[in-house]
């Protein structure tokens, strides 16, 4: 997890977060064995280009404005990015996880004055959710 200012965008944190994940003990898989599922906020051409350069598989829907711009260029606009709707449906798993974290009152209302304390609360909520899931299995 990475904590940023509330007004900061998510997209600049994508590649550092991906680097952290690939370097973590959670996976020994290389970029070719990981698939990134992201929403339209991550559809920026530079993000797609960097993911391709790193050979990270990704499923990101194309934004309407990008679709219109590509079509307006005609054959010079290139081919549309690959998008698998069935794979994209799996993204709801993480959305539900965010919803569960936000059920924690301290996380949802952001009572904590300091970022480090808030991050600790988010990490605690995540650890408890993981341990509950592991206990059920």
Domain boundaries defined on the chain: 1-83, 88-137
Residue owning tokens 């993204």? 91
DSSP annotation of 73 reads: T
CB hemisphere CA count around 134 (13 angstroms): 6
pLDDT of residue 34: 81
pLDDT of residue 50: 92
pLDDT of residue 27: 61
Q: Could you report the per-residue pLDDT of 26-39, keeping only the tens digit for each?
A: 666 665 678 889 88
Q: Where are the beta strands (DSSP E) in the chain?
A: 35-37, 57-59
Distance CA 98, CA 45 (A): 26
**Low-confidence residues of the chain, pLDDT below 70?**
25-32
pLDDT of residue 30: 60
pTM of the model as a whole: 0.72
pLDDT of residue 19: 87
């Amino acid at each position: 997890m990475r904590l940023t200012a509330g007004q900061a965008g998510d997209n600049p944190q994508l590649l550092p977060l991906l680097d952290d994940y690939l370097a973590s003990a959670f996976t020994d898989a290389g970029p070719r064995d990981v698939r990134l599922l992201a929403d339209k906020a991550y559809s920026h051409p530079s993000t797609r280009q960097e993911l391709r350069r790193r050979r990270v598989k990704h499923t990101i829907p194309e934004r309407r404005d990008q679709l219109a711009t590509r079509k307006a260029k005609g054959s010079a606009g290139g081919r549309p990015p690959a998008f698998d709707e069935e794979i994209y449906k799996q993204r709801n798993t993480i959305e539900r996880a965010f919803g569960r974290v936000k059920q924690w009152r301290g996380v949802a209302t952001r009572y904590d004055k300091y970022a480090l304390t808030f991050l600790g609360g988010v990490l605690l909520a995540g650890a408890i959710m993981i341990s509950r899931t592991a206990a059920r299995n």
